């Protein structure tokens, strides 16, 4: 009898814990299109999250009722009262007003705003922030998912980039039909692209020193409650045929000179491929980094999404094969934690192999089961379930 009571209490606790998870999708109020990278938080708590590329979100609550606050640089900040747990919330956000009237008043204002933003950030370039983050990378070849790996990191970040990392939990799976193609250090590029005070070792990026190399224009102003956000496009004036460079869009506060979002289109990125693969055409890379406003003088990293479009030639002894590959990654910060500042962080290095990082930590299936931080797009979810069904996670061996 006592055993049955204990089992019942454990089951009740598990149901109660599960019921505290809130899931849903954020969409545009008018178009109904999903909105990626929307920040959300439970008001009055430290619980935060961010929607993924499909607008899907998951957040864990301790009790109800509660208020969820949603914010995105292009939408009005909105609050919603949630009275009970749900797995199918639909949150509709209203676009912020767009002001085009002021765009042509001062043709140099975009450059001035960027310069002010860079100068402000430079004052804090040596100040580190300590964050907990979740990273997922999905590789697709010829439109078919082939491998996925996921890592929980502690990271050390500043306004230039992520400078240190500790892998806490990992898992990996790959299809038995996967090609020989492998991109071994996507996380290095993600970490290196996670700041807004870029200091590249090679190539041309938008920095305070390179502003004269770009045509800089304010595309529009987004009218938020406290200030306008200027959307500033930067297009390189002249690029060589094989020159490594980025065209960028910055979202800058017109009053506080903080940077809220950076989008990069990167061409001719120098990369190395494994197993005798080479590029048929230079890779094209797109990144979107979002930064969360707080009481500090600079905004801290919230998420960094990268997507690489690769046209590859793979040659073996018998034949040559053309492959079209896409490597997508998303690093999302779910907690700021100064308690980890004294940990021993690994330096961000180009020669770090993601596979080796994954293999260095024993797979813990219980940790990943129903983990509320692990949010997936529909494609990732389908592939993950396929791999789980084949018991492929936790091993580098094809199922």
Which of 65-74, 140-149, 182-191, 264-273 ranks highest by mean pLDDT?
Answer: 65-74
pLDDT of residue 318: 64
Residue that the structure tokens 């580098």 belong to: 396
Given a contact cutoff of 8 angstroms between Cβ atoms, the answer to whether 38 and 95 are in contact is no
Beta strands (DSSP E) in the chain are 21-28, 39-42, 48-50, 56-60, 66-72, 75-82, 86-93, 97-99, 129-141, 144-157, 162-174, 214-223, 228-236, 245-253, 259-267, 277-292, 300-315, 320-336, 346-347
- Average pLDDT, rounded, for the chain: 84
The Cα–Cα gap between 89 and 82 comes to 9
Closest alpha carbon to 372 in 38, 64, 61, 60 = 60
The Cα–Cα gap between 11 and 298 comes to 45
Write the pLDDT tens digit of every residue in 30-62. Answer: 999 999 999 999 998 878 888 988 898 888 888
pLDDT of residue 323: 81
The Cα–Cα gap between 350 and 129 comes to 22
The Cα–Cα gap between 212 and 210 comes to 5
Mean pLDDT for the stretch of residues 228-238:
95
Mean pLDDT for the stretch of residues 171-197:
80
**pLDDT band, residue 295 (cuts 50/70/90):** confident
**pLDDT band, residue 257 (cuts 50/70/90):** very high
Write the pLDDT tens digit of every residue in 63-100. Answer: 888 999 999 999 999 999 988 887 789 999 999 998 88
Least confident of 189-203, 224-238, 371-385: 371-385
How far apart, in Å, are the Cα atoms of 344 and each of 202, 243, 289, 341?
Answer: 28, 37, 26, 8
For residue 221, the tally of other CB atoms under 10 A from its CB is 20
Neighbouring residues of 246: CB distance < 8 A, sequence distance ≥ 6: 203, 204, 205, 206, 236, 264, 265, 266, 267
pLDDT of residue 14: 37
- Written as six digits, the tokens of 316 are 């073996």
- Report all structural domains of the chain as residue ranges with CATH numbers, in order of start: 2-95 (2.60.40.1120), 109-389 (no CATH)
Write the pLDDT tens digit of every residue in 350-396. Answer: 889 888 898 888 888 888 887 878 766 666 677 777 777 677 776 54
**What's the angle, vertex CA 332, arms to CA 329 and CA 338, rounded to 5?**
135
């Amino acid at each position: 009898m006592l055993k049955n009571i204990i089992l019942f209490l454990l089951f009740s606790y598990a149901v109660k814990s599960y019921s505290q998870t809130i899931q849903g999708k954020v969409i545009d109020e008018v178009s109904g299109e999903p909105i990626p990278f929307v920040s959300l938080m439970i008001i009055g708590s430290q619980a935060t999250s961010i929607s993924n590329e499909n607008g899907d979100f998951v957040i864990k609550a301790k009790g109800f009722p509660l208020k969820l606050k949603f914010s995105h640089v292009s939408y009005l900040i909105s609050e919603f009262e949630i009275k009970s747990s749900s797995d199918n919330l639909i949150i509709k956000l209203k676009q912020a007003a767009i002001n085009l009237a002021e765009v042509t008043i001062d043709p140099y204002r975009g450059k001035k705003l960027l310069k002010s933003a860079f100068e402000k950030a430079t004052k804090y370039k040596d100040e580190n922030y300590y964050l907990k983050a979740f990273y997922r990378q999905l590789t697709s070849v010829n439109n078919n998912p082939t491998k996925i790996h996921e890592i929980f990191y502690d990271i050390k970040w500043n306004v230039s980039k992520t400078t240190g990392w500790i892998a806490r939990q990992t898992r990996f799976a790959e299809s038995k039909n996967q090609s020989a193609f492998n991109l071994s250090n996507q996380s290095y590029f993600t970490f290196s692209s996670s700041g807004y005070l870029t200091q590249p070792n090679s190539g041309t990026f938008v920095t305070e020193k390179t502003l004269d190399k770009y045509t800089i224009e304010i595309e529009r102003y987004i009218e938020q409650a406290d200030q306008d956000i200027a959307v500033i496009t930067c297009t390189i004036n002249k690029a060589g045929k094989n020159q490594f460079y980025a065209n960028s869009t910055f979202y800058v506060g017109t009053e506080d000179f903080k940077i809220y979002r950076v989008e990069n289109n990167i061409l001719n990125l120098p990369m190395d491929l494994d197993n005798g693969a080479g590029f048929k055409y230079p890779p094209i890379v797109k990144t979107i980094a979002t930064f969360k406003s707080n009481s500090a003088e600079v905004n801290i990293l919230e998420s960094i999404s990268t997507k690489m479009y690769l046209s590859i030639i793979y040659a073996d002894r018998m034949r040559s094969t053309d492959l079209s590959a896409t490597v997508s990654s998303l690093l999302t910060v779910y907690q700021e934690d100064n308690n980890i500042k004294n940990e021993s962080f690994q330096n961000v290095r180009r020669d770090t192999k993601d596979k080796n990082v994954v293999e260095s930590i024993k797979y813990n299936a219980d940790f990943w089961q129903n983990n509320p931080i692990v949010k997936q797009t529909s494609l990732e979810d389908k592939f993950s379930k396929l791999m789980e069904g084949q018991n492929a996670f936790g091993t580098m061996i094809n199922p």
